[in-house]
Structure 1
Amino acid sequence: MKDDDVIQWRFGDEDTLIADINVTADRIIVYDDVLDGRFRDRLKLDNQTGSLTITNITTEHTGEYKLQINIEIKIFILFVFDEVKSVSVKEGDSVSLNSNLTEMKNNDVIQWRFGIKNTLIAEINKRSDRITVYDDVLDGRFRDRLKLDNQTGSLTITNTRAEHDGDYKLMFTDLMMYSEGRFSSKSFRVSVYDSVHCCGPTEAVIRLVLSALVGVATVIIVVYEIRSRRAERDQAHIHT
């Protein structure tokens, strides 16, 4: 950091100030009592670089963080998950990513994002009764392949290809929480495999076990056949 740098960290759609550094005034402040105290005793600022650390994170810390260094602005989208669900799909088939909602309410907002850059690929805004799929993003890899369930917000990807392999993130909130930058989130890791090379990890294990069992059965049959023929030969020899 330079002598005249001013750094501010903001959170959520309303750009709530949660931390700042003023090098000239030699001031470092964390505003951890804002937003119902969700950041209380969790924020740490590096006075050399201005980097922000959030400790002991929970899902309520999911959202958009904005860093302003003088006039330069950078945006970070943080997702906090309880777990990542792995899903395997054969290339060319469809795969559904379930929101686990029975029915969306009138003020609900759902967003689906893809990849390390969290590219927005689909969303539902119940308040404005709007369903949008951004199937032209990412060089059109999702063109004509995305379907959203208007009742539950679940996402279906049809005619999957290897380029659809990756991480999908579901962000769910209502308009009140959205204005505060608060989201619930889920993550799915989709693996697309082709029928020639392999399959999903579970199916691969099953095939391996079945192959082993077939191998054992074959050995047993061969041993039994050898012993039977040997016994017949010994009996014939004794008879002679």
Structure 2
Amino acid sequence: MEGDSVTLNSGFIAISEMEDCEIQWIFGRARTLIAVINKQTNRFSVYDGVLDGRFRNRLKLDDQTGDLTITNTTMKHAGCYKAQILYISIDYNLIVYARLPVPVISRVCSSSSSSSNCSLVCSVVIVGHVTLSWYKGNSLLSSISVSDLSISLSLPLEVEYQEKNSYSCVINNPIRNQTTHLDITQLCQPCSDSEHCCGSTEAVIRLVLSALVGVATVILLVYDIRSTRADQDQAQMHP
């Protein structure tokens, strides 16, 4: 995950096994040298200023094993790493996952919704390489996956009013997951015939529109009063 540390093994149990050979740590298709261990000169060097400084203050070499540690990882550190020792190499493919957001469950306002069902949607924003799922207890109901980066996901669900089943929305990647549990009693309340089931967003929009209409009405009333007084003043000056 972003922000975690990862250690890549050089293949040596101890540097003391080395004689005059050199270990080179190489990154990416361009084969950028990021670290060197030379036992003969007893040199342990990291080149963290390369590639626009993406490794700056993040590379650590173990002087006993030659292992390379990358701290505070970001998405830019994903890629191929190679420990080159003479004609032998050890290759690593590092995948870095973005931190998972907490899924948000909200009610959907729709005039076409069944009067006996509550329409919901679970959503997350700016995610990649994840799966978003609805669960009823421990049973999977539906899911949607995405492999692209920086995309928003949403997954609908319909439940009956006042039912006692437990539902949860889960977002996960191969490493971790985030879960939000549905509170049916809070989000799903039956509406009477004279009411329209609206989520908080629509209610706020209606409130703002009502306020704007009220302000416009006051402005027009004040303008009308001032215009009437001006006409009366002109009538008194010119009988």
> Normalization by structure 2: what TM-score?
0.43
Q: Which protein has the larger Cα radius of gyration, Structure 1 or Structure 2?
A: 2
Q: Which has the higher contact order (CA 8 A, sep 6+)?
A: 1
